[in-house]
Amino acid sequence: MRFKAGTVRRRGVIAGLSAIAMVGAPAFAQAWPSQPIRLIVPFAPGGTTDLVARLIAQGLGERLGQPVIIENRAGAGAMVGSEFVARAAPDGHTLVMSNIASHAISPSLYPANTVRYDAVRDFTHVALVTSNPSVWVAHRGAGITDLATLRARATAAPQGLDVASSGAGSSNHLLIVQLAQLAGIDLHHVPFRGAGPAMTAVIAGQVPLMSDSLPSAAAHIRGGSVRAIAMCSAERHPSFPEVATFREQGVDLVCDSWFGLSGPAGLPAAIVAKLNAEVRAVLATADVRARYAEFGGTPGTLDAAGFTRFVAEEFARWAPVVRASGAEAG
């Protein structure tokens, strides 16, 4: 069989490029990171996502030899910051703290025409960082000490009882809707642009209650600035054994929030492998494990493939829950 010269040349070029790609992939990974890494936190400073991000960023920066810079881009149930990363160049220098809001709940909670990314296809999911239960806290002067007094206050309130959260689309928003349905009470969701501003409002008495992730609430509970009234875990949390669960108080409400590291789709496999290994190495250090344990988080152990499956499963799990709850963004 005879080939035209142009065909042979083209095939030679293609073969050459393939060889370069095979040789160049490890070199690309070795050269990465060649500049500071931007870690987008899709919530305001002071909340659990921000707290988890800053802790992992410090260790990663030390191990990678480049600073990992936190950039808060809040809005639309964590979708503003997540969309920014989905559109970024897949070179490993722009990452996002993916979470249960941005990749499991918000895409189903917001109108379809406002959701501009696919939670699985438009990202490279690298590593699960930590998971933790939610906890409900009350202003010290609100007179709410447990689920029974919460029910009594909600029943007596003509317009329902206000409950703050880190924002529409968060798991804590959905927990407010679910508790109202399960307990048969009127709860009014008050969304903030992050857990930090929401907690400040509760401490000041502007809102009597908050549904929050345990890490961002832990220091305030220990310091006595708010009162913990119920934990959304299957059993009492070892770091807060004095806080009864919702199940113990008659309502079957259990929820774990999770936080991971993700990048744009198409992130080179060598970078994904290196980044996953470095995240797991940071999570294995004694000081980081102790810090996560202090605020109630459990470090993740999944590889990139496992975390990708996990995100897909979480999206599939929460989509029907959002629809059944009737919850809406805002």
Count: domains in the chain: 2
User: Which residues make Cβ contacts (< 8 Å) with residue 222, sequence separation at least 6?
Assistant: none
Q: Kindly report the three-state secondary structure assignment for every residue of 99-166.
A: EHHHHHHHHHHCCHHHCCCCCCCCEEEEEEEEEEEEEEEEECCCCCCCHHHHHHHHHHCCCCEEEEEC
Q: What percent of the chain has pLDDT over 70?
A: 91
**In sequence order, what are the beta bridge partners of 182?**
none
Which amino acid is located at 199 in the chain? Answer: M
* pLDDT bucket at 328, cuts 50 / 70 / 90: confident
Give a yes or no: residue 63 inside a domain.
yes
pTM of the model: 0.77
User: Which residues make Cβ contacts (< 8 Å) with residue 140, sequence separation at least 6?
Assistant: 224, 225, 226, 227
128 and 265 together in one domain: yes
147 and 102 together in one domain: no
142 and 118 together in one domain: no
217 and 72 together in one domain: no
User: Which residues make Cβ contacts (< 8 Å) with residue 28, sequence separation at least 6?
Assistant: 268, 270, 271
Give a yes or no: residue 15 inside a domain.
no
- Of 231, 251, 275, the domain-final residue: 231
Q: What is the pLDDT of residue 15?
A: 42
112 and 142 together in one domain: no
Q: How many Cβ atoms from other residues are within 10 Å of residue 118's Cβ?
A: 13
162 and 302 together in one domain: no
- Of 185, 211, 231, the domain-final residue: 231
Q: What is the pLDDT of residue 7?
A: 39
Element (H, E) at 62: helix 48-64
151 and 294 together in one domain: no
Give a yes or no: residue 312 inside a domain.
yes
**pLDDT, tens digit (0-9, with 9 covering 90-100), for 237-255:** 988 999 999 999 999 999 8
> Among 261, 265, 253, 267, which residue's Cα sits nearest to residue 283?
261
213 and 275 together in one domain: no
58 and 127 together in one domain: yes
* Higher-scoring residue by pLDDT: 295, 67: 67
- Of 214, 231, 248, the domain-final residue: 231
Domain that holds residue 121: 29-132+259-325
**pLDDT, tens digit (0-9, with 9 covering 90-100), for 139-160:** 999 999 999 999 999 999 888 8
Q: Cα(279)–Cα(128) distance, rounded to whole angstroms?
A: 9
CATH of the domain at 185: 3.40.190.10
Give a yes or no: residue 85 inside a domain.
yes
Give a yes or no: residue 17 inside a domain.
no
Q: What is the pLDDT of residue 141?
A: 95
Find the mean pLDDT for residues 80-102: 97
Q: Cα(269)–Cα(273) distance, rounded to whole angstroms?
A: 6
Helix (H, G, I), strand (E, B) or coil at 263: strand
Say whether the peptide bond before residue 42 is cis (omega within 30 degrees of 0): no
> Among 165, 146, 143, which residue's Cα sits nearest to residue 243?
146
Give a yes or no: residue 4 inside a domain.
no
Q: What is the pLDDT of residue 29?
A: 54
Residue 174 and residue 322 in contact, taking contact as beta carbons nearer than 8 Å: yes
110 and 138 together in one domain: no
225 and 271 together in one domain: no
113 and 208 together in one domain: no
Give a yes or no: residue 1 inside a domain.
no
CATH of the domain at 314: 3.40.190.150
